[in-house]
């Protein structure tokens, strides 16, 4: 039975909630248990080339994403511009603030991290001593450049199971080369994320800027939520 079939019996919220019962620990980070073996294999392949593949994040709950979203909307957490520089949100209209947050943070309910299928990776061995991880493009071009070059080759293999959903700037989510998605499982989740079900879920949450989200939901869905089937490895078309 596919995940989409389950939706006949469950609301999208219960469906996403059910992920928490499928989680396992990969070196201190929660992920869907289906990822344990593929991640261990990728990590071993990285290690053979001198890289220490580590996860910066894996599964993230809807509640946690609501907390991040609201903290950004309230000014308790910085909102960054395209270049990664903090914005003065007092200058922004609610609509502009919402789109600025969406550049770097998923709308709660729509994050691929809710599925347990997606992880943010880096090369722990290359993190300069005394520095904390930022997850920025500058790092990917700097200390993690060799790691990402190796990853490019891995993901280009015809039997690759992981892929990068966010790579090119296209007016939506900023490029995130560190974000990997496990295609065999993520394809099913993405198929289940019908726009109207997601709209219902998102608007039921306790989130800031809800009026703006409701007004622009169609645009948010097409620009920030949908990942083109062309990004997936060939064996997992949507």
Where on the chain is the footprint of Zn ion (CB under 5 A)?
A: 120, 179
Smallest Cα–Cα separation from 29: which of 167, 156, 124, 165? 124
Instruction: Please tell me whether residue 179 adopts helix, strand or coil conformation.
Output: strand
Quote the distance between the C-alpha of residue 95 and its chain's center: 22
The nearest distance, CB 215 to Zn ion, in angstroms, is 26
The nearest distance, CB 57 to Zn ion, in angstroms, is 6
C-alpha to C-alpha distance for 151 and 148, rounded to whole angstroms: 5
Expressed in angstroms, the distance from the first to the final Cα of the chain is 16
CA distances (Å), origin 166, targets 40, 94, 143, 149 = 23, 25, 20, 16
Nearer to Zn ion, 161 or 212 (CB): 161
The nearest distance, CB 55 to Zn ion, in angstroms, is 10
The nearest distance, CB 205 to Zn ion, in angstroms, is 20
Quote the distance between the C-alpha of residue 228 and its chain's center: 14
The nearest distance, CB 31 to Zn ion, in angstroms, is 12
C-alpha to C-alpha distance for 66 and 101, rounded to whole angstroms: 12
**Residue 188 structure tokens:** 């099913």
Nearer to Zn ion, 43 or 212 (CB): 43
The nearest distance, CB 39 to Zn ion, in angstroms, is 14
Nearer to Zn ion, 164 or 179 (CB): 179
Bridge partners, residue 122, by sequence:
54
Nearer to Zn ion, 60 or 199 (CB): 60
Nearer to Zn ion, 148 or 179 (CB): 179
Whole-angstrom Cα Rg for the chain: 18
Answer yes or no: are the C-beta atoms of 113 and 58 closer than 8 Å: yes
Nearer to Zn ion, 179 or 199 (CB): 179
What is the number of the residue whose Cβ is closest to Zn ion?
179
């Amino acid at each position: 039975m596919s995940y989409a079939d389950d939706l006949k019996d469950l609301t999208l919220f219960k469906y996403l909630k059910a992920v928490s019962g499928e989680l396992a620990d990969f070196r201190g980070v929660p992920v869907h248990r289906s990822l344990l073996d593929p991640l261990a294999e990728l990590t071993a392949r990285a290690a053979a080339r001198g890289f220490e593949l580590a996860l910066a994040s894996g599964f993230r709950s809807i509640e946690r994403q609501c907390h991040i979203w609201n903290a950004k909307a309230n000014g308790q957490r910085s909102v960054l511009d395209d270049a990664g520089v903090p914005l003065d949100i007092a200058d922004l209209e609610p609509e502009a603030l919402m789109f600025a947050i969406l550049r770097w943070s998923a709308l709660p309910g729509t994050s691929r991290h809710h599925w347990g299928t997606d992880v943010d990776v880096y090369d722990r061995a290359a993190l300069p001593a005394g520095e904390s991880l930022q997850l920025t493009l500058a790092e990917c071009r700097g200390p993690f450049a060799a790691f990402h070059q190796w990853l490019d080759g891995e993901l280009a293999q015809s039997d690759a199971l992981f892929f990068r959903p966010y790579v090119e700037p296209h007016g939506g989510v900023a490029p995130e080369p560190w974000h990997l998605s496990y295609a065999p499982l993520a394809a099913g989740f993405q198929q289940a994320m019908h726009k109207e079900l997601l709209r219902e879920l998102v608007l039921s949450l306790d989130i800031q800027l809800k009026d703006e989200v409701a007004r622009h939901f169609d645009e948010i869905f097409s620009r920030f939520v949908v990942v083109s089937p062309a990004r997936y490895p060939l064996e997992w078309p949507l």
